[in-house]
């Protein structure tokens, strides 16, 4: 899996390419840890080019969803493919991680909320 | 033929002539020439350069000295009695003990065809008998550098070979351990057959080479219920297998009674969710638990993110028995509920792990749930055990390898004619 990391204002985008599986979960963890060194409020995982996620990958998403929430941040998934969306849905991931179809659809975040600290 | 003396100290034979150069780390060079003057001149020159020099007066003696002294480099004349230079080169290069030794053939002429023959027969370099001392020095130095490099390469190769053997040994040990672990995991699985009047059971279990975390179980719960469950620990390897065995031990009848105080699937899944939080590495379980009341044939079931559960009605209709729920540990406060439906004779319930339908073809295409369900649907008229075998065979045909990348488990229950009904 390839990962491209970009930051813009309050949002850090992590673009993922390829399968997201047990073997690549460390890559994503490293990318999210890097994002946690900034004080961005939103970490946007662009999974548009991810064709498959396995159960180990879901565990990483759940783990970071909980962790980021505690830090006052949020994890958002962008444009999952149909098969990936099915995998996410059966694990009820949309209930804990918002899914967006475009960057413009990001749910608003309160500007009054304090910015998270860099880790 | 002269049997020359050593330069610097007396020796019994020319071959044993040894020149020491204190304070240096000389290469060991054997000079082979039947003309004593030529040999002495070369020996003297090399000695002055600080090398450890040995002598031999013909090819046969050179072979003996080479066996005994293992020189780094040999300078040898082309024409010699007993064994000529090219033949000596052939002998030495054919012996693995001398593979690193550099051979410099001395010739009176430097005809291309002569050079080609020498190279073909094992020489590494040539030296004209008329060569200057500077050229001789340069060729000897180049030869010793080549020798040092070849030795380094051989040493690296030997180290690699030893490492490879060690790795192969560890790999063998690991695979033996994994096979033992897989056998242990399989020993936890329930026997096939008629578990209760009106219910028959069959299963297929294919542990991956690396061992995974799939397990399932069937047990009689109380007097009237048949309980069954399937779980899948995320990840692979011994860690996943151990976690799966731990959870499965809590799903045994006595543990359910002690820890949950109920055979309600929703209550069981809720308790397991409380006990097995998401690990710091993001490891977790999916779990599906069902309880079939034998007299009424009412099935209650609950699932924690486990997608592999379908019911095929006797008429062929497929009913998915999975819904969007958190896997164990995702949300510690989740209360899981039970759903119910009534089974009828001929209905078949299949529980399976994602390792079965997430198998890939040699071109990396997923087999997928649709194909799995299609094979199961198409096997409705075949005996249950055969339907399961056919399904696994189809997955294997797709994968085209002996082992799946993840464990693959497939459990089937069929409602058969009830006689006599359980009181």
Q: Going residue by residue through chain B, which has 423 residues, state the pLDDT in tens, using 9 for 90 and above.
A: 334 333 333 343 333 434 344 444 579 999 999 999 999 999 999 999 999 999 999 999 999 999 999 999 999 999 998 899 999 999 999 998 998 999 999 988 778 888 889 999 999 999 998 899 999 999 999 999 999 999 999 899 999 999 999 999 998 888 888 788 778 877 888 887 777 888 999 999 887 776 778 899 999 898 899 999 999 998 877 888 889 989 998 998 888 989 999 999 999 999 999 999 999 989 999 999 999 999 999 999 999 999 999 999 999 999 999 999 999 999 999 999 999 999 999 999 999 999 899 999 999 899 999 999 999 999 988 999 999 999 999 999 999 987 888 888 999 999 998 765 444
**Which residues does B45 contact at the CB level (< 8 Å), separation at least 6?**
B133, B136, B137
B370, closest residue in chain A (CA to CA): A83
Put simply, whether A91 touches B (Cβ < 8 Å) is yes
Mutation target among A90, A94, A99 for the B interface, most CBs of B within 10 A: A90
Put simply, whether A109 touches B (Cβ < 8 Å) is no
Reported ipTM exceeds the 0.90 cut = no
pTM: 0.71
B283, closest residue in chain A (CA to CA): A59
Put simply, whether A25 touches B (Cβ < 8 Å) is yes
């Amino acid at each position: 899996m390839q990962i491209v990391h970009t930051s813009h204002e309050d949002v850090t985008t992590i673009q993922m390419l390829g399968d997201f599986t047990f073997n690549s979960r460390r890559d994503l963890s490293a990318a999210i840890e890097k994002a946690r060194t900034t004080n961005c409020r939103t970490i946007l995982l662009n999974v548009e080019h991810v064709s498959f996620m396995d159960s180990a990958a879901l565990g990483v998403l759940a783990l970071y969803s909980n962790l980021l929430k505690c830090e006052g941040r949020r994890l958002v998934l962008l444009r999952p493919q149909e098969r990936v969306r099915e995998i996410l849905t059966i694990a009820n991931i949309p209930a804990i991680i918002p899914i967006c179809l475009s960057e413009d659809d990001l749910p608003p975040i309160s500007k009054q909320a304090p910015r998270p600290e860099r880790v | 033929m002269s049997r020359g003396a050593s330069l610097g100290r007396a020796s019994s034979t020319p071959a044993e002539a040894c020149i020491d150069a204190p304070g240096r780390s000389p290469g060991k060079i054997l000079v082979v020439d039947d003309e004593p003057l030529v040999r002495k001149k070369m020996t003297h020159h090399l000695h002055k350069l600080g090398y450890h020099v040995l002598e031999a007066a013909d090819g046969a003696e050179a072979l003996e000295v080479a066996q005994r002294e293992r020189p780094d480099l040999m300078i040898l004349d082309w024409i010699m009695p007993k064994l000529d230079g090219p033949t000596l080169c052939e002998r030495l290069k054919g012996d693995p003990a001398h593979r690193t030794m550099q051979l410099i053939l001395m010739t009176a002429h430097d005809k291309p065809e002569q050079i080609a023959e020498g190279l073909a027969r094992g020489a590494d370099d040539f030296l004209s008998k008329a060569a200057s001392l500077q050229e001789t020095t340069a060729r000897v130095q180049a030869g010793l550098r080549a020798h040092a490099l070849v030795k380094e390469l051989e040493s690296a190769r030997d180290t690699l070979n030893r490492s490879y053997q060690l790795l192969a040994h560890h790999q063998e040990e690991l695979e033996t351990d994994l096979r033992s672990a897989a056998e242990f995991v399989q020993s936890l699985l329930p026997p096939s057959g008629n578990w209760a009047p009106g219910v028959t059971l069959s299963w297929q279990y294919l542990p991956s080479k690396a061992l995974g975390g799939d397990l399932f179980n069937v047990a009689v719960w109380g007097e009237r219920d048949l309980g069954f469950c399937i779980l899948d620990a995320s990840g692979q390897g011994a860690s996943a297998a151990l976690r799966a065995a731990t959870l499965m031990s809590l799903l045994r009848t006595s543990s359910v009674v002690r820890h949950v105080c109920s055979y309600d699937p929703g209550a069981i899944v809720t308790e397991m969710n409380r006990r097995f939080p998401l690990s710091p590495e993001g490891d977790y379980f999916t779990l599906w638990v069902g309880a079939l009341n034998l007299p009424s044939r009412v099935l209650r079931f609950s699932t924690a993110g486990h997608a592999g559960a379908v019911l095929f009605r006797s008429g062929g209709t497929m009913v998915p028995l999975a819904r969007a729920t958190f896997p164990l540990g995702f949300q510690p406060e989740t209360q899981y509920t039970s759903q119910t439906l009534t089974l009828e004779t001929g209905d078949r319930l299949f529980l399976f792990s994602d390792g079965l339908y997430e198998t890939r073809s040699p071109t990396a295409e997923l087999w997928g749930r649709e194909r799995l369900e299609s094979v199961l649907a198409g096997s409705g008229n075949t005996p249950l055990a055969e339907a399961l075998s056919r399904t696994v065979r189809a997955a294997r045909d797709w994968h085209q390898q002996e082992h799946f990348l993840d464990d693959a488990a497939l459990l089937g229950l069929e409602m058969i004619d009830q006689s006599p009904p359980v009181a």
